[in-house]
Chains A and B, each alone.
Chain A
Amino acid sequence: MDPTIFWTLVVDGVVNGTIYALLAIGLVLVFVVTRVILLPQGVYVSFAALTLSQFQRGNVPGTVWLLLALGCAAFVIDALRTRSRITRAWFLRRVATDLVFPAVMYALVTWLVPLQPGMAVEVALTLMLITPLGPYLYRLAFQPLEQASVLTLLIASVGVYIALSVLGLVFFGPEGFMANPLSGVQFDTAGIVVSGQSVIMVAVSLVLMFLLWLLFDRTLIGKAMRAVAVNRTGARLVGIPISQVGEITFALASFIGAVSGVLIAPVTMVYYDTGFLIGLIGFVAAIIGGMGSYPLAVAGALFVGLLQSFAAFWNSNYQQVVVFTTLIPILLLRSLRAPAVEEEE
């Protein structure tokens, strides 16, 4: 293999790896705080990428309807569940987050999009459309199962994934789309071409990781999230509202997913179900990191990015086989370190 190809593959691997790293961080975050293994994480990626593409074509994407529908459903179902505890403050807050916000988004999108408002506005609208899906889904599907086992939550996660991927097909059809690049610049160093888009991908990922570090290390709410992750009972005893923390966690995860989607939209042909595979690879990275550590998850993600890039060069038919098969020895190693006998609670 000549060095140009080698370095091109490395660059490719690292760029993909940073995206996997973002997704892995989102997955680890959701898992440690809520114990949900969030299969739909990849769906956010697809939805964001396709929503952006639709905006650029001047279309109103179906995700706007999804936001309206989920908002209403979350409002109604939450109201039924809360019943006797409904207070004025609760009511006003939920009306604002569940009914007014989606309606405003609907108005904004239908007004702005036909005007072709430019990349910045389109990206902002995309993030604002996709991020709230996380908390709505948490409230509809996972919050009622707060006390359930990891397994039950995993299966519920499968259910949510199925439902969302069908909606993806309905909203965006079976065709793939590619968005306009965020930057058209190309850097050429010694025959290895690095696009401005790649630089933006890596830079945005790094900034996002830094912001997440700030959140967890410097803010009380970030620390409350960590507290829930290390000791749920302890967190409840100091009055941390587990459900709200869950909502915030899901919002962060969907935001991370949406950012990843915006970043990959210009470089990959994205189909409604592309996100699943990307999400699963993010998983492989998260699992390599042990589902509990952010730095290890990032390292795992870079490893998987490189592995995939070289495997694709070797035999593109088997690249996924290689990626997923690597997981098995790693899982085995991880379990060997876990206690030999384990019991379900």
Chain B
Amino acid sequence: MTEPLLVVERMSVAYGKVEAVRGVSLNVPPGSVVTVIGANGAGKTTLLNALMGLLEQTGSIRFENRDLRNARVEDRVAAGLVLVPERRELFGSLTVEDNLRLGSFRHRRHHEIDEELAKVYARFPRLRERQRQLAGTLSGGERQMLALGRALMSRPRLLMLDEPSLGLAPQIVRESFRIIADLHKSGVSILLIEQNARAALAVADYGYVMEHGEIALEGAAGELAENPRVAESYLGLGTTH
């Protein structure tokens, strides 16, 4: 059995006195897509932000057998952990190309950056068309592509996606999930957070259900999708009652 890529044990995060994540443990095996689903306010975003080092946390995080507990954000990025946040967090007053180039800030070697840039443009031809445009002027779908492209520029070992379908039109959402499936095939491991539980479980290998900051349920994605409790709470609409 292969060693998991990411091992999180008993992680907790608190905002002041309010604990938003309580003792969460989870694994991401190499080359897999793992999803965390749950209602708004269940602590999913907090979990990812803490994994990225943006928030103070307790508990242990091991990534490729390295202890990341005390690592700063930039060290985690260098180790290959990359987050595409819910709010995208692009550099609005910089061009699309500058946004992408800054994505590989940690590499710094010119030919490497150009190589990655060519790959990203090949994957998202739309971004090449817009390369001189300021990121702040992009549409919602393009912004999502840019955020994803910028993350790929740093050659992630584990890509963490926070609500990639947020605020996107249905056809773009479908496209996003196609790209996720595509990335998965090319060997990138993915930790996906999604409110759109059905879509998330469809692309994932394994899933966790978060409730009130805790992992309430976990299992293979197919089994979770069948689980009546999950179906009722998170798949909601469209299920037969």
Chain A in direct contact with chain B (Cβ < 8 angstroms): yes
**B70 and A234 contact, CB distance less than 8 A:** no
Contact status of A233 and B89, CB under 8 A, knowing A227-B94, A238-B77: yes
Let me know if A230 is at the binding interface, CB within 8 A.
Answer: yes
Chain B CB within 10 Å, residue with most, of A84, A85, A233, A239 = A239
B contact residues around A226 at 8 Å (CB): 91, 93-94
The residue in chain A whose Cβ has the minimal distance to the Cβ of B49 is A233
The answer to whether B70 touches A237 (Cβ under 8 A) is no
A236 interfacial by beta-carbon distance below 8 Å: yes
Chain B 175-199 interface 0/1 with A at a Cβ cutoff of 8 Å (1 = within) = 0000000000000000000000000
Is B105 a contact of A238 with CB atoms below 8 Å?
yes
Which residues of chain A come closer than 8 Å to B91, judged between CB atoms? 226-227, 230-231, 234-235
Which residues of B in the span 85-127 have a Cβ within 8 Å of any Cβ on A? 85, 87-94, 98, 101-103, 105-106, 108
Residues in chain A near residue B94, CB distance under 8 A: 223, 226-227, 230
Q: Is the CB of B90 within 8 A of A224?
A: no
Instruction: Please tell me if B217 contacts chain A, counting CB pairs below 8 Å.
Output: no
Q: Is A114 an interface residue (CB 8 A)?
A: no
Chain A residue nearest to B90 in the complex (CB): A234
B154: Cβ under 8 A from any A Cβ: yes
Which chain B residue has the least Cβ–Cβ distance from A233? Answer: B89
Does A230 lie within 8 Å of B77, measured CB to CB? no
Asked if B6 is at the interface of the complex by the 8 Å CB criterion, the answer is: no
Q: Are A238 and B102 in contact (CB under 8 A)?
A: yes
Task: Give a binary string over B137-164; 1 marks a CB under 8 Å from any A CB, 0 the rest.
Answer: 0000000000000100110000000000
Contact check, A234 vs B89: say whether CB atoms are below 8 A apart.
Answer: yes
The reply to whether the CB of A220 lies closer than 8 angstroms to some CB of chain B is yes
CB contact under 8 A between A237 and B73, given known A230-B93, A231-B90, A231-B91: yes
Q: Quick check: A233 and B85 within 8 Å, CB to CB? A: yes
What's the minimum C-beta distance from A136 to chain B, rounded to whole angstroms? 21
CA distance A230 to B98 in the complex (A): 13
Is B3 an interface residue when CB atoms closer than 8 A count as contact? no
Nearest Cβ in chain A — how far from B108, in angstroms? 7
B78 CB contacts on chain A under 8 angstroms: 239
Residues of B within 8 A of A238 (CB): 77, 102-103, 105-106, 150, 153-154
Closest chain B CB from A345 CB (angstroms): 13
A241 interfacial by beta-carbon distance below 8 Å: yes
* Docked-complex contact B105 and A231, CB < 8 angstroms: no
**Structural contact, B54 and A223, CB atoms closer than 8 A:** no
Give Cα A84 to B71, complex, Å: 10
Q: Is A100 an interface residue (CB 8 A)?
A: no
Tell me the bound Cα distance from A224 to B154 in angstroms: 15
Cα–Cα distance between A22 and B101 once the two chains are bound (Å):
29
Given the known A-B contacts A85-B70, A223-B94, A231-B89, are A240 and B82 also in contact in the complex, defined by CB atoms under 8 Å? Answer: no
Q: Counting CB contacts under 8 A, is B83 at the interface?
A: yes
Q: Is the CB of A224 within 8 A of B89?
A: no
CB of B133, distance to nearest CB on chain A (Å): 15
Interface residues of A in 238-253 (CB under 8 A from B): 238-241
1/0 per residue, CB under 8 A from B, across A204-234: the answer is 0000000000000000100110110011011
Pairwise interchain contact A241-B72, C-beta atoms closer than 8 A = yes
Interface-centre pick from B73, B85, B103, B150 (highest chain A CB count, 10 A) = B73
Knowing A85-B70, A223-B94, the reply to whether A237 touches B102 (Cβ < 8 A) is no
Chain A CB within 8 A of B61 CB: no
Q: Which of B52, B74, B85, B90 contacts A240 (CB 8 A)?
A: B74
Q: Contacts A220-B102, A223-B102: A236 and B73 contacting too (C-beta < 8 A)? A: yes
Residue contact A236 to B74, C-beta cutoff 8 Å:
yes
User: Which residues of chain B are within 8 angstroms of A234 by Cβ–Cβ distance?
Assistant: 85, 88-91
Query: Which residues in B have their C-beta under 8 angstroms from that of A241?
Result: 72, 74
Q: A233 to B94, alpha carbons, bound, how many Å?
A: 15
Q: Which residues of A contact B74 (CB under 8 A)?
A: 236, 239-241
Chain B residues with CB under 8 Å of A223's CB are 94, 98, 101-102
Q: Considering the chains assembled together, what is the distance between the CA atoms of A238 and B89 in angstroms?
A: 10
Which of chain A's residues has its CB closest to B107's CB? A239
Within 8 A of B (CB), among A257-295: none
If A224-B105, A240-B102 are given as contacts, then 8 extra A-B residue pairs at C-beta distance below 8 Å, sorted by A number, are A85-B70, A233-B54, A234-B89, A234-B91, A237-B54, A238-B154, A239-B73, A241-B74
A-B contact pairs, 15 of them (CB 8 A): A220-B102, A230-B91, A230-B93, A233-B54, A233-B85, A234-B88, A234-B90, A236-B73, A237-B82, A237-B89, A238-B103, A238-B106, A238-B150, A240-B74, A241-B72
**Which 9 interchain pairs have the tightest Cβ spacing?**
A239-B77, A234-B89, A239-B106, A239-B74, A236-B73, A241-B74, A227-B91, A233-B89, A230-B91
Mark B residues whose CB is within 8 Å of A.
52, 54, 70, 72-74, 77-78, 82-83, 85, 87-94, 98, 101-103, 105-106, 108, 150, 153-154
